[in-house]
Amino acid sequence: MPGMGAVTLGVVATVVVLLALALPGPAFAVADPYQVSVPVPDQSSGARRSAEREALERVLIRLTGDPDVGRRSELAAALRAPQNHFVRSGYARISDRDLAEAHPDARWLLELEADRNGILRLLKEAGIPAWTGRRPEVLVLILREEPSGERVILDPRSDVARTLVRVGRERGLPLSVPLMDLDDQLALDVSELWGRFEGATAPLQERYQPEAILMLRLYEDALGRWVGDWEGEVGGEVFAAALEVPEPRAAAALLVDRLAARLTARYALRLGGDADALWVQVDELADVAAYAGLMRYLAGVSGVSRVQLVQVQDRSVLLRLDSSAEADRLMDLLRLEARLEPDATPELVGDVPVWRARWRQRG
């Protein structure tokens, strides 16, 4: 019988139901890039100052994707006075078991909220691109091959799953794993998932409705070394790698780090600089309320400095966006946020590229 955190299809149904009652709901981890919690040993001024610097570096890494961003000379003054870049703070007792194990000398969490406008202004003045939009909700399916050869799916209580969700939260990514309750067990075929058969993850898409699914397989090679290989697609980009790791949890941490770095590099936009004109025609607007919602949304998109209505025809509007971002990069970001859906390529009207798009109004 597999250890705690591993579920196979042969488990007795009554036991599965009891276990499922203790599992969290199918929610994605909260991933606000401006909210940070840092373990500290006490509430002294020295511990607080050190934690504030660590927290500010973590926010900057989430926004830029650069793990060495704290070494940039343009940010040195800000990191010398990190307390100036937070608008809210407080202490809480450490209750998370993984955090307690990772930081045995810590007793408290210093919980901080960064000054969003101040941070973005700092990056703008430094000329550093930032990913300020919402992050995609990614479901990660974790499969492990046991020494016996049995292949199992890990549930949210496993060490690997907890590591994945925790590191995702640290990097500002909303990650989750399947509950692996009775519904999941009846719907999923471990052999098909391991073999990456087409359609094997369809039940997960239907139930959890994530924006992307990644699969992480863990197994030992012929020499007894752990291998973590993952594969999936996020925002139309394929992510795949196979790495030797010292133990399974390291594979989860590496997956998150690489995913965060790749996504941030793709969706980070320049926050300042010269603005270029982009032409966007939005079709199928239902009413005036839909138009108002569209304009409010575009006014809040990073990299867009001005939105101008140029023409109205039936239920379509032609807009001019003044943007410091490259057109393709901005359109990628809009697709990821799933409010405005541009076509894959623009149409040429004369010599002017015009992006056709549809607006998804939310209730």
Reported as a single tens digit per residue, the pLDDT across 136-156 is 899 999 999 998 999 999 999
- Is 60 exceeded by the pLDDT of residue 93? yes
Gap between the Cα atoms of 46 and 298, Å rounded: 43
Reported as a single tens digit per residue, the pLDDT across 305-334 is 899 999 999 899 999 999 888 899 899 889
User: For residues 218 and 145, is the Cβ–Cβ distance under 8 A?
Assistant: yes
Please name the helix (run of DSSP H) or strand (run of DSSP E) that holds residue 312, with its range, or none: strand 304-313
Mean pLDDT value of segment 60-79? 94
Q: What is the pLDDT of residue 362?
A: 67
Please name the helix (run of DSSP H) or strand (run of DSSP E) that holds residue 296, with its range, or none: helix 288-299
User: For residues 63 and 87, is the Cβ–Cβ distance under 8 A?
Assistant: no
Q: Domains for the chain: give ranges and CATH numbers.
A: 6-29+135-267 (3.40.50.10070), 35-126 (no CATH), 276-359 (3.30.70)
User: For residues 274 and 326, is the Cβ–Cβ distance under 8 A?
Assistant: no
Give the confidence band of 164 by pLDDT, cuts at 50, 70, 90: very high
Q: What is the pLDDT of residue 20?
A: 36
Gap between the Cα atoms of 4 and 159, Å rounded: 9
Tell me which of 172 and 30 has the higher pLDDT: 172
Q: What is the pLDDT of residue 27?
A: 58
Report DSSP letters for 1-52, one per residue.
Answer: ---TTEE-TTS-HHHHHHHHHHSPPS-PPP--TTEEEEEESSS-HHHHHHHH
Gap between the Cα atoms of 188 and 89, Å rounded: 43
Q: What is the pLDDT of residue 12?
A: 36
